[in-house]
A and B are shown apart, each in its own frame.
Chain A
Amino acid sequence: GQQVMQIPQYQHVQEGEDFTTYCNSSTTLSNIQWYKQRPGGHPVFLIQLVKSGEVKKQKRLTFQFGEAKKNSSLHNTATQTTDVGTYFCAGSRLTGGGNKLTFGTGTQLKVEL
Chain B
Amino acid sequence: DADVTQTPRNRITKTGKRIMLECSQTKGHDRMYWYRQDPGLGLRLIYYSFDVKDINKGEISDGYSVSRQAQAKFSLSLESAIPNQTALYFCATSDPDPARDTQYFGPGTRLTVL
Contacts and interface: CB of A to CB of B under 8 A. Distances in A.
Given A1-B59, A97-B50, A98-B50, A43 B43 contact: yes
B56 interface: yes
Contact of A6 (B42, B98, B106): B42
B103 A101 contact: yes
Contact of B105 (A42, A48, A92, A102): A42
A99 to B, nearest CB: 5
B42 A42 contact: no
Interface residues of B, number: 23
Given A42-B106, A99-B101, A104 B42 contact: yes
B40 A9 contact: yes
Contacts of B12: none
A105 B50 contact: no
A6 B42 CA distance: 10
Given A35-B103, A101-B45, A102-B45, 18 more contacts: A30-B98, A31-B101, A33-B102, A42-B90, A43-B103, A43-B105, A45-B104, A48-B101, A48-B102, A88-B42, A92-B101, A97-B56, A98-B96, A101-B103, A103-B35, A103-B42, A105-B41, A106-B43
Interface of B: 35, 40-45, 50, 56, 59, 90, 94, 96, 98-99, 101-108
19 contacts: A9-B40, A31-B101, A41-B107, A43-B103, A44-B105, A45-B104, A88-B43, A90-B43, A90-B103, A94-B98, A98-B96, A99-B101, A101-B45, A101-B103, A102-B45, A103-B42, A103-B43, A103-B45, A105-B42
